[in-house]
A and B are shown apart, each in its own frame.
Chain A
Amino acid sequence: MWKKGVTLATAAIIFASAAANVSAASGRDYISIVGSSTVYPFATTVAEQFGKTSKFKTPKIESTGSGGGMKLFCAGSDIDTPDITNASRRIKYSEYEKCQKNGVTEIVEVKIGYDGIVLANSKAAAQLSLGKKDIFLALAKEVPDPKGGEKLIANPYTTWKEVNPSLPDSKIEVLGPPPTSGTRDAFVELAMEGGCQQIDWIKARKETDKKHFKSVCHTVREDGAYIEAGENDNLIVQKLEANPKAIGIFGFSFLDQNGDKIQGSVVEGEEPTFENIAAGNYPVSRPLYCYVKKNHVGVVPGMAEFLAEFSSEKAWGEEGYLADKGLIPMPAKERQQFAADVAALKPLLMAK
């Protein structure tokens, strides 16, 4: 028994080091993708399709979040680093700079489509019609004093009716993503800041004290009215079903899949429908991106073919399979533009 154990251990160590050497020497025969969990369902669909229809291996896709993906992507340009990173927001200048510094000098930016962020509640309750200002007043940590004056007080509202008399008299109870989520970033930026801008004196602050403006508009209340429900959007949907008074915040694809259980709230008079988001009418929507390391194209097998698959009409077009998965396609012209850029591998130039 003892001898066997020793032999096994030795064998394992030899085997492990051999395996490590082999993989380091032979490089990689599959595409490695990291990044946003919002883009994950779309990227994986393309990857699977690519794996089935091409002679290449199916790409490996890690769900690391937009920021985490950027960090891995920009860590270096050698073969160990990911080839593509997905993001539910545009690359930040600081990230671009870091990429450049680490030798990732040529990045191809691909916008792949749009995602709507919806506020939804159970079908058992009435559909809400919210303004961005209502969203801001209901969810910000500090709001202007309702008595008037340019003064901020801790958010006093407990029911929707208090926020806006046209809304129902039910408790404010919102289930949403935690601060680590890209969905949360986009929601805060698009919905809350948008509502913030509708209050003139706060908007005026944007010019004088940008920092303060941001902290007022971007800080979500922490007194229990906004409940951080974790990254799992399915869980939010289930909770909404159980509690008709609650409102949930998540990506459009979850509304799309659960249309029989939940309904999206109207925002600024626009319903969160596929058509409305695609037309750019629905105000809380964001572009989704992927970023490609140009120097890996031609080194990692299948890179060019994968990008061609991603930017083909049967994938990201209006009738494409990504639309079935809930991705809102770009307008035809934009699609053409990006498809051409991808084919030419046009590197991104970013100025501060």
Chain B
Amino acid sequence: MESMSAVLKSGGALFSGAEGVIQAQVRQEDKTPREDRLTVGLPFVDDARMTCRGVSVFYGEKHAINNVSIDVGRNQVLAMIGPSGCGKSTFLRCLNRMNDTVEGCRVVGDIQLDNLNIYDRSVDVVPLRAQVGMVFQKPNPFPKSIYDNVAYGPKIHGLASSRAELDEVVESSLKKAGLWNEVSDRLDQPGTGLSGGQQQRLCIARAIAVRPEVILMDEPCSALDPIATATVEDLISELQEHYTIVIVTHNMQQAARVSQRTAYFHLGDLIEVGSTDRIFTNPRHRLTEDYITGRFG
């Protein structure tokens, strides 16, 4: 498998094309040599759920993501790590077009979900976001009851035809999120009254209630205490069976614990991708090694 890396490296170069040259001029403060910023490792998989090719993101004049190509494997957890400001969250938010809400944000390149370009003019973001759910850094339940929080998505998408069916969706979602036992007797109480870890699991239940194919998680445990973090991590491992998950994390141990593949981002570039074991035990790229050995970040 590792022998393919050389080929892939040239593949990455192929994708960068002429644009890369211009970018090198713009980003003069970056001292890393141009060739060092080509992706190392295995960005592509055979049975991909989402495929990204040559994705660049601009915030006005600022170039936030630079020509990233990567696949998200089916029923896998892909962890994205990297120092602050490396663009991993920005990239994550491209996957369900959450960046559309940011003014002045421009995405170029090709992102496909089940062989359909999600940035295509014909694609509607509303069903897209139902397919690609999202869990945010800070738990953000709606200021409504626990029940309404989970039921909201199915309601607006018309996924439940009756009250009983809706009840069922809520129950199963809460069960999948491992929250049912804790809240089954107080579904009518405000979601904001739960503890931080419970709130985050409620948000996960809310996301899975619309039966997405992919769940994006943006540092879901950064606002939680270690015990709550452990619970959520266990939950991620369980969900992996049915869902494709992309998780951004600051915590390398977390990436190591929950993910099968890990991608390392650095200043807007995807530096290295590979199986989690390989990245943490035998990083190929000097920047990846520096980061996971704690030299910066």
Q: Do chains A and B touch in the complex (CB under 8 A)?
A: no
Residues on A facing B (Cβ under 8 Å): none
